[in-house]
Amino acid sequence: MELASTSMIDKVIAITGASSGIGAASALLLAGRGAKVVLGARRKEQLESIATRITRAGGEVAYLPTDVRRREDMAALVEMASARFGRLDVLVGNAGIGPISRLDELRVSDWEDMIDVNLKGFLYGIAAALPVFRNQGFGHFVTVVSTAGLTVTPTMAVYAGTKNAVRTIAEGLRQESGAKLRVTCVSPGFVKTDFADSMTNPEIRQKIRDTRDQIAISPDAIARAIVFAIEEPSDVDVNEIVVRPTAQN
């Protein structure tokens, strides 16, 4: 954990998908810089482990098992932040899955899962946090998207579709937000995470893992981009950040 930053001290930041990968790295970095973090993910044991690390380092943390596919779970996570710490400054929407495959395989349940987690989960975050931000008069949505949404490739049609939809809705949200709310999309390339675990096609899963092992960057790189956007002055809205390995096309 890093030394506290004066611009981050006491900010209240909720993070979804916080049990591993980019979410966990962001939680540790933000807490180390003085933020109060509220962690949400489905895996309770991993949340407890990360919360313990933050507490032992002197940080402030709360956590709640959260499935972003359930609107009530997102509402509960935001409510926990407000109840425990008095407000919510930032919602980092990081939860996402990518069981990619060629459309000919007709893995319809995988398509539905990606829509439920990647797109509807994002919308449920807006539904939970936007009224809070409006009532406070300030707030910041930071959403982890993907470079897959920038360049569509075979096997990634539905996944890229969900990410493009998130980017489009985020831009609409930005335009509607006015002068007090900020909206940021962070698009990672290959990152060293367990992202491939959600893939149901074994050949594609292994190919993604092989590429990850060859060129992927640390989740800390994405966490630093998230911190950068949050730490900018309130009149500066960083809308798009793309972070990929130097070796990635």
Q: Is residue 124 annotated as a catalytic residue, yes or no?
A: no
Q: 111, 159, 190, 195: which is the annotated catalytic residue?
A: 159
Rounded-to-integer distance, Cα 203 and Cα 8, Å: 43
Rounded-to-integer distance, Cα 147 and Cα 189, Å: 5
Q: Which residues are catalytic?
A: 159
